[in-house]
Amino acid sequence: MAKNALIIGAGLAGTCLAHRLLSSGIEVQILDQGSNHSSAIAAGMVNPMVFRRMNKSWRLDEFLPEAQAFYRDIEQQLQTKFYHPIVIRRFFSSAEERDSWQQKASQEAYQNYLEKLSPADLENQAAINLFGSGRVRNAFWIDAANWVKEHLAYFAAQGNLLQKPFEAKAWDPAARKYDGITYDYVIFCMGYQQKEEPTFAYLPLQQTKGQTLLIESALLSDAESLNRKCFVLPYGKGRFRVGATYEWNNATLHHTPEAREILLQNLSALGSYEPVVMEQAAGVRPTVLDRRPLMGKHPDFDGVFVFNGLGTKGYMMAPTLARELAAFITMNTPLHPETNISRFTESKV
Ligand SMILES: Cc1cc2nc3c(=O)[nH]c(=O)nc-3n(C[C@H](O)[C@H](O)[C@H](O)COP(=O)(O)OP(=O)(O)OC[C@H]3O[C@@H](n4cnc5c(N)ncnc54)[C@H](O)[C@@H]3O)c2cc1C
């Protein structure tokens, strides 16, 4: 008989894991209360680089190709479009940054990600150009709001989704029993709201609020995503997402005039684009101080797992991490040591 799993949370973590478990022949039930304020709010950008240090993102060479293939497969499966390739143009903040780019772009390790600087890049006038600009290769964005919406519809149509809140009184972790049903595996994928549920509340999950603006501007080009101090992501038809703020230890969901001001100021450091703000969005990222995800088995309860802490690069990491967690759950294949919650584990009973 096929084994069964209960996934709590249908955000990016829960949906990616559901795909991976279903492909391993596990029967999956997903529970979601419809309070998604991260995966659906995200800009969904996948930027191979960490500009602050001008380094490749962690495990980039593994994550990026797998994410590109995964999102295209899921597009086929759900018969919709999420995946949009984009060129990111970084306007350098200093001569050091430009020199660092120049030097890295000639290294083999960066060939897939950094274009060598051409005279046209150095002179590009799409933004106020202080020290030149460079183009990132192999970047893309996922239509995050559509990802969540289409997955809720898809899993509901397949009979995999219960649209309800998780009830602590219906949960017996020692028996892996929820609402009268015993599951082989129960996986908590509750994003920043994990802190409110006792099972994995001991983990050092942080709640990092982020806000973005949706603007219209006739003076910005749709061709590239501009970046310095903020990102400007073209959505087509003269609309752009500008983001994002980082508001530490803040799990409130209202948008603020202060964040709007910061985002508009950051945008004006790129150029005078006469933006018209159409909408402001706020969400909360599930982050961890060591910038690594939270994955693994509960220290005291067999068959009880967590998938969280996807942070600011969730859309790049989730496809690979979900596959690794599914292999850990079903075949006990070891997790990457930097992702395993055993780094924080103490027995709770
Ligand atoms: C403003 C902003 C911009 C971002 N931009 C990017 C970006 O450009 N690129 C990128 O990669 N990442 C970005 N992120 C981060 C990204 O959104 C997260 O890493 C990722 O979406 C987290 O996914 P998750 O599934 O862990 O959490 P969530 O998306 O929060 O999903 C958790 C789910 O659990 C459900 N749930 C919670 N509690 C309960 C309960 N008690 N009962 C039932 N269901 C429950 C919720 O309804 C929700 O659907 C951004 C985030 C924000 C806020």
Residue whose CB lies within 8 A of the most ligand 1 atoms, among 152, 193, 284, for a mutation test:
193
44 lines ligand 1 (CB under 6 A): yes
Structural element, H or E, at residue 321: helix 314-331
- 52: Cβ contacts below 8 Å, ≥ 6 apart: none
- The Å distance, Cα 36 to ligand 1 centre, comes to 6
315 lines ligand 1 (CB under 6 A): yes
First CA to last CA distance, the chain: 32
Per-residue pLDDT tens digits for 159-202:
999 999 999 999 999 999 999 999 999 999 999 999 999 999 99
155 lines ligand 1 (CB under 6 A): no
- The Å distance, Cα 127 to ligand 1 centre, comes to 31
Amino acid present at 137: R
pLDDT given for residue 112 in this prediction: 97
Which residues of the chain have a pLDDT value below 50?
Answer: 347-349
Amino acid present at 63: F
152 lines ligand 1 (CB under 6 A): no
193 lines ligand 1 (CB under 6 A): yes
Signed CA dihedral, 68, 70, 76, 80: sign only: negative
Strand-pair category, 304-308 with 294-297? antiparallel
Q: Whose CA is nearest to atom 24 of ligand 1?
A: 191
- Residues 288 and 309: beta-carbon distance below 8 Å: yes
pLDDT given for residue 345 in this prediction: 76
**Predicted TM-score of the model (pTM):** 0.97
127 lines ligand 1 (CB under 6 A): no
Whether residue 318 has a cis bond before it, omega within 30° of 0: no
pLDDT given for residue 349 in this prediction: 43
pLDDT given for residue 346 in this prediction: 54
8 lines ligand 1 (CB under 6 A): yes
92 lines ligand 1 (CB under 6 A): no
- The Å distance, Cα 293 to ligand 1 centre, comes to 13
Nearest atom in ligand 1 to the alpha carbon of residue 233 is: 8
241 lines ligand 1 (CB under 6 A): no
Strand-pair category, 161-162 with 133-142? unpaired
Nearest atom in ligand 1 to the alpha carbon of residue 190 is: 34
Q: Which domains does the chain have, with CATH numbers?
A: 4-42+145-202+290-343 (3.50.50.60), 45-142 (no CATH), 206-288 (3.30.9.10)
85 lines ligand 1 (CB under 6 A): no
> Measured between alpha carbons, how far is residue 191 from residues 102, 176, 253 in Å?
38, 21, 14
> Which residues are 6's β-sheet partners?
29, 186
151 lines ligand 1 (CB under 6 A): no
Say whether 266 sits in a helix, a strand or coil. helix
Give dist(CA 226, CA 220) in Å, integer. Answer: 9
- The Å distance, Cα 223 to ligand 1 centre, comes to 28
Residue whose CB lies within 8 A of the most ligand 1 atoms, among 7, 8, 12, 169, for a mutation test:
12
pLDDT given for residue 1 in this prediction: 85
> Which residues are 84's β-sheet partners?
141
Q: What is the DSSP string of 106-132?
A: TSGGGTTTBPPPPHHHHH--SS--SS-
